[in-house]
């Protein structure tokens, strides 16, 4: 009697973990592994070259590692994911296909339609079903409440006190210690290993579509678990201590400062958040890094990252259509590289994106997001651009961060107020304004900072819809007291026109 065909484990491009998901309990011989490169996804938007290379190279390296372990691996190219599965099933006579739950709403719906058996995802420390239960009886969701709940349930930076469990150091949050402006002492920042490109890397680079943009891959981004572990070790040893104080600072000549740049490895499955948090907490308890830095970093991993993951699943699919402020402008040519700009902060951040496919969280929020918010850029257009431009981009990452946090397009479901500011914030937290022709203190005139002008125009433009938000009462009152508000709004029309044309 002929033995039934072995099941297929379908591994998607952001599930590259041997120890988790549908591969966790599998051994060579008891399944076949499928990976599909979809031409439709590869050509669906203008990807950054390093972003596209990272995913394709990591998939190819993972396939090679599984083959070396003894697995039968079918790593194929197809027009679509669906076609790839269909061709695989036909070629091998497969009866059962198993996969880990995808990280996107559409991908999950696709796999369910195709009859794929889904295994519960263990890629996050809080599954989205558990997040939904946490959120169910709450009138308002806040990341801080979720973060504290995570700390307690996971036992992270928690000690046993006289009255029960309590946060290490007696405080949940060390934000006050982590908001220093950029130092002006010319210090050096932690360096990272550039991994040598191998034959797989070079092969992937050679077949990248011509429609991609940005600098060629240079070994910055880990494409294997071993490389990701090197990057984690470097950060814990060299970066974690100095991360905290300057996590919100921006320097034109420094694309990452002391940030971990581990997000792409987590998002692909090369690292698990548990091992990252465990390493960071150990550094604090051993005295190798300040508690304020460690707490700030851990908050990003088990707080913000997992909160974004949870609300994505809680609010989809309607969430991606949110546009509470009715914003409709295109993504500025100064962002996409189609035009240059005299705004030093924008030029610096866009340069970081061009060279590395990366900008740290304050550059994303207070330079790119802030300008898109005050200019009225369409939230879905901005989401798609950032999704394609950043190595750690994914729909679940970008939708809440752009639509909710940066552009306030959800009307306050995620953020308690719009993160809009004039040039004063950028002047305080960066070195950009010193070399810029625009003056952050001026609202009108040829030298007026576009951020400052657009900030006041944004408040005036949206005063009615923002009026019920108590956190906006003071900014709106200040806006109404401006003696030259009509001139500011006239100047904003000129700035927006120049922004659209690409000559600002």
Q: What is the CATH number of the domain that holds 476?
A: 1.10.579.10
The pTM score is 0.95
Tokens of 20: 């988790």
pLDDT in tens, 49-77: 999 999 999 999 999 999 999 999 999 99
Task: Bin 169: left if φ > 0, else alpha if -120 < ψ < 50, else beta.
Answer: left
Non-local (6+) Cβ contacts of 451 within 8 A are 343, 345, 370, 371, 374, 421, 422, 423, 426, 440
Task: Check whether residue 174 and residue 103 sit in a common domain.
Answer: no
Q: Strand, helix or coil at 39?
A: helix
Q: At which of 315, 343, 378 does a domain end? A: 315
pLDDT in tens, 110-136: 999 999 999 999 999 999 999 999 999
Distance CA 378, CA 409 (A): 9
Task: Check whether residue 103 and residue 239 sit in a common domain.
Answer: no
Task: Check whether residue 115 and residue 80 sit in a common domain.
Answer: yes
Task: Check whether residue 134 and residue 108 sit in a common domain.
Answer: no
Task: Check whether residue 368 and residue 457 sit in a common domain.
Answer: yes
Distance CA 227, CA 224 (A): 5
pLDDT in tens, 73-99: 999 999 999 999 999 999 999 999 999
| Number of domains within the chain | 3
H or E segment and range at residue 443: none
Task: Check whether residue 341 and residue 478 sit in a common domain.
Answer: yes
Residue 485 belongs to what domain range? 325-501
CATH number, residue 182? 1.25.40.80
Nearest to 193 by CA among 226, 167, 216, 162: 226
Q: Are 119 and 108 in contact (CB under 8 A)?
A: no
- Kindly indicate the confidence band of residue 1, based on its pLDDT and cuts at 50, 70 and 90: very low
Q: Are 49 and 89 in contact (CB under 8 A)?
A: no
- What mean pLDDT, rounded, does the chain reach? 95
Residue 277 lies in a domain: yes
pLDDT in tens, 145-194: 999 999 999 999 999 887 889 999 999 998 887 788 888 887 889 999 99
Distance CA 250, CA 237 (A): 22
Residue 66 lies in a domain: yes
Q: Strand, helix or coil at 271?
A: coil
Tokens of 25: 């309990």
Residue 211 lies in a domain: no
Task: Check whether residue 362 and residue 452 sit in a common domain.
Answer: yes
Q: At which of 119, 137, 156 does a domain end? A: 119
SS (H, E, C) 416-440: CCCCCCCHHHHHHHECCHHHCCCEC
Tokens of 445: 């005139």
Q: Are 32 and 55 in contact (CB under 8 A)?
A: no
pLDDT in tens, 185-218: 878 899 999 999 999 999 999 999 999 999 999 9
Residue 200 lies in a domain: yes
Q: Strand, helix or coil at 136?
A: coil
Residue 400 lies in a domain: yes
Dump the DSSP string for 454-502.
Answer: HHHHHHHHTHHHHTT-GGGHHHHHHHHT-TTHHHHHHHHHHHHHHHHHT
Residue 437 burial by Cβ neighbours in a 10 Å radius (0-12, 13-18, 19+): exposed
Residue 212 lies in a domain: no
CATH number, residue 43? 3.40.50.620
Q: At which of 261, 289, 315 does a domain end? A: 315
Distance CA 60, CA 67 (A): 11
User: What radius of gyration do the chain's Cα atoms show?
Assistant: 24
Distance CA 49, CA 37 (A): 16
Task: Check whether residue 17 and residue 44 sit in a common domain.
Answer: yes
Nearest to 14 by CA among 393, 502, 413, 475: 393
Task: Check whether residue 113 and residue 189 sit in a common domain.
Answer: no
């Amino acid at each position: 009697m002929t033995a039934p065909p072995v099941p297929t484990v379908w591994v998607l491009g952001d599930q590259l973990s041997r120890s988790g998901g549908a591969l966790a309990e599998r051994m060579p011989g008891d399944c076949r592994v499928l990976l599909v490169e979809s031409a439709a996804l590869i050509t669906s938007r203008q990807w950054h070259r390093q972003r596209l290379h990272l995913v394709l190279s990591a998939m190819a390296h993972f396939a090679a590692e599984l083959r070396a372990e003894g697995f039968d691996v079918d790593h194929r190219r197809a027009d679509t994911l669906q076609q790839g599965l269909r061709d695989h099933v036909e070629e091998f006579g497969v009866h059962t296909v198993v996969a880990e739950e995808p990280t996107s709403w559409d991908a999950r719906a696709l796999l369910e339609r195709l009859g794929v058996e889904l295994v519960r995802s263990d890629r996050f420390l809080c599954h989205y079903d558990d997040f939904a239960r946490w959120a169910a009886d709450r009138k308002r969701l806040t990341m801080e409440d979720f973060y504290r709940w995570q700390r307690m349930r996971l036992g992270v930076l928690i000690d046993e006190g006289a009255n029960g469990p309590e946060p290490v150091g007696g405080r949940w949050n060390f934000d006050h210690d982590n908001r220093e402006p950029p130092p002006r002492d010319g210090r050096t920042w932690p360096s990272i290993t550039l991994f040598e490109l191998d034959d797989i890397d070079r092969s992937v680079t050679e077949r990248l579509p011509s429609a991609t943009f940005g600098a060629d891959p240079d070994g910055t981004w880990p494409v294997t678990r071993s490389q990701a572990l090197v990057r984690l070790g470097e950060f814990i040893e060299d970066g974690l201590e100095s991360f905290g104080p300057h996590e919100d600072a921006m320097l034109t000549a420094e694309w990452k400062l002391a940030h971990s740049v581990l997000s792409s490895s987590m998002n692909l499955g090369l690292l698990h958040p548990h091992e990252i948090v465990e390493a960071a907490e150990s550094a604090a308890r051993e005295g190798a890094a300040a508690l304020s830095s460690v707490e700030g970093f851990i908050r990003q991993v088990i707080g913000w990252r997992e909160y974004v993951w949870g609300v994505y699943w809680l609010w989809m699919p309607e969430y991606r259509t949110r546009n509470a402020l009715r914003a409709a402008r295109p993504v500025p040519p100064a962002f996409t590289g189609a035009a240059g700009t005299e705004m030093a902060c924008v030029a610096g951040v866009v340069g970081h994106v061009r060279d590395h496919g990366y900008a740290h969280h304050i550059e994303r929020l207070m330079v790119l997001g802030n300008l898109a918010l005050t200019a009225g850029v369409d939230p879905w257009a901005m989401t798609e651009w950032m999704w394609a431009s950043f190595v750690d981009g994914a729909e679940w990452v970008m939708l809440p961060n752009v639509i909710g946090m940066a552009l306030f397009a959800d009307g306050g479901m995620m953020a308690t107020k719009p993160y809009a500011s004039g040039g004063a914030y950028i002047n305080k937290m960066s070195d950009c304004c010193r070399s810029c022709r625009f003056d952050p203190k001026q609202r009108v005139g040829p030298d007026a900072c576009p951020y400052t002008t657009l900030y006041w125009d944004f408040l005036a433009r949206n005063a009615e819809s923002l009026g019920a938000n108590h956190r906006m009462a003071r900014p709106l009152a200040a806006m109404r007291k401006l003696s030259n508000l009509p001139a500011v709004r006239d100047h904003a029309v000129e700035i927006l026109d120049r922004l659209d044309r690409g000559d600002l």
